[in-house]
Amino acid sequence: MEGIERSRKRSRQREEILAVLRSTKEHPTAAMLHTAARRRIPRLSLGTVYRNLDVLEEMGLVLHIRNGNAQDRFDGDVSPHYHFVCDACGAVLDMPLPYRPELDEAAAREGFRVRGHRLDFHGTCPACSKP
């Protein structure tokens, strides 16, 4: 019985984290997700958020954006798309450019079995570029 309760609790936490992630375009950090999800699940720990993000990534439901020295970001939109990372404010934005399958094809011609590619642009976002 207790095992069932525990797994119900676990899946509720996972669903809540995914719901928060899917409701935003901000590509939040784990800490930002933790703050938002705690409004619904007050006792949720940051460690639990990290564990759930790992599981969701493994399930292919979450995109993990590894961000060099800055904090990693997470995306509930797993369709192929590109990102822009702002050097000034740290924002991670969706880049409104179409996915380029010809890059996958070119890589495949080099003998690689290609599952897809990701592309992060870096520079200054439109808001930070304003004089």
**Measured from the CB of residue 11, what is the shortest distance to Zn ion in angstroms?**
25
Contact characters 68-107, Zn ion, x per CB under 5 A: -------x----------x-xx-x--x-------------
The count of chain residues that interact with Zn ion, using the rule CB under 5 A, is: 8
Q: Are 62 and 19 in contact (CB under 8 A)?
A: no
**Interface with Zn ion includes 16 (CB under 5 A)?**
no
**Alpha-carbon gap, residue 116 to 36, rounded angstroms:** 31
**Measured from the CB of residue 8, what is the shortest distance to Zn ion in angstroms?**
30
**Interface with Zn ion includes 4 (CB under 5 A)?**
no
**Interface with Zn ion includes 37 (CB under 5 A)?**
no
Burial class from Cβ neighbours inside 10 Å (0-12, 13-18, 19+) for residue 131 reads exposed
CA 43 to chain centre: 23
- Judged by CB under 5 A, the stretch of 5-13, 35-43, 50-58, 118-126 that binds Zn ion is 118-126
Q: In what order do the strands lie in the sheet with 92-95?
A: 92-95, 82-86, 120-123
**Alpha-carbon gap, residue 60 to 4, rounded angstroms:** 24
Residues contributing to the site for Zn ion (CB under 5 A): 75, 86, 88-89, 91, 94, 125, 128
